[in-house]
């Protein structure tokens, strides 16, 4: 399997043999599992104060031996405060979940384990499958990318793309290879649940970052080193088929 190599002007300058990774079958189940494992392992454990709502002298007054008893009163038999306190707070219910300023019934606990485990071979298979999906036009279109005018998938570019430092230069290159509609798509913003929701743009995979991340920052593009590829970067949301631009050296390193 071969792919054409393009320069920054959008012209073909050669061909390259693609590694066998691009021939891997699509495994959406593994990609989804690997994505969820990455998301879960990044989650920060959290919990409430174990004494929250319990710092009170209130207790149950249902026994007759107490001076302040609740027997024969039209009150729910709950822990209530008494003693040397303001009159307004006398016999106020405390401690129990249904009371004002009471404890929480089932609070989140710090000791809960959020981690999800996945086998190394399954994780590697998911990455290879996600890489292969970036070269299938039907899957890329299904994800929502506008690649009708794109010259070829996978899009392989000469290593000079790694040296671009200005957004203007990168923008000109993207227009020359037929990604005008894709740039318009990622500019759209939607308000969802009082938050701005932006669409995921293309991914640029390089072997060495010589300034490309700075150029891509303002265009809504992500840059990733080939050694750092994972299911979350290649398939955001667990959906394979992200539009990916490869540098020539990144393809060569992918073989290893």
How much is the pLDDT for 148? Answer: 86
> Which residue is listed with tokens 């292969």?
132
Tokens standing for residue 129: 């499958």
Q: Are strands 244-247 and 155-157 parallel, antiparallel or unpaired?
A: parallel
How much is the pLDDT for 69? Answer: 66
Provide the greatest CA pair distance for the chain: 96
Other Cβ atoms within 10 Å of 138 Cβ, number: 9
* Residue 248 and residue 13 in contact, taking contact as beta carbons nearer than 8 Å: no
How much is the pLDDT for 39? Answer: 95
Residue 28 sits at φ, ψ, to 5 deg, of -65, -30
CA distance 96 to 78: 7
What are the start-end ranges of the E strands in 88-182?
155-157
Other Cβ atoms within 10 Å of 162 Cβ, number: 21
Tokens standing for residue 232: 């979350």
How much is the pLDDT for 140? Answer: 93
Report how far apart, in Å, the C-alpha atoms of 205 and of each of 31, 216, 227, 240 are: 19, 12, 9, 16
Grouped pLDDT means (10 residues each) for the chain, 256 residues = 89 90 94 96 92 89 62 80 81 92 93 94 95 93 89 89 91 91 86 77 93 88 94 94 94 84
Domains within the chain, CATH numbers bracketed = 2-43+118-254 (3.40.1370.10), 45-113 (no CATH)
């Amino acid at each position: 399997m071969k792919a054409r190599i393009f320069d920054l002007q959008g012209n073909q300058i050669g061909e390259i043999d693609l590694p066998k990774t691009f021939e891997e079958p699509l495994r959406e189940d593994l990609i989804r599992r690997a994505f969820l494992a990455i998301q879960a392992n990044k989650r920060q454990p959290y919990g409430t104060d174990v004494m929250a709502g319990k710092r009170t002298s209130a207790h149950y007054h249902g026994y007759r031996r107490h001076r302040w008893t609740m027997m024969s009163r039209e009150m729910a038999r709950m822990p209530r405060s008494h003693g040397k306190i303001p009159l307004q707070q006398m016999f106020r219910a405390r401690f129990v979940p249904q009371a004002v300023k009471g404890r929480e019934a089932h609070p989140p606990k710090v000791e809960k384990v959020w981690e999800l485990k996945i086998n190394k071979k399954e994780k590697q298979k998911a990455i290879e499958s996600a890489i292969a999906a970036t070269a299938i036009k039907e899957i890329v279109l299904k994800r929502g990318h506008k690649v009708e005018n794109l010259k070829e998938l996978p899009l392989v570019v000469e290593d000079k793309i790694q040296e671009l430092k200005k957004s203007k230069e990168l923008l000109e290159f993207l227009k020359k290879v037929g990604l005008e509609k894709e740039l318009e798509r990622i500019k759209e913003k939607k308000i969802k649940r009082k938050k701005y929701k932006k669409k995921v743009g293309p991914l640029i995979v390089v072997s060495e970052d010589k300034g490309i991340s700075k150029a891509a920052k303002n265009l809504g593009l992500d840059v990733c080193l080939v050694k750092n590829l994972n299911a979350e970067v290649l398939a955001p949301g667990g959906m394979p088929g992200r539009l990916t631009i490869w540098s020539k050296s990144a393809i060569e390193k992918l073989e290893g």
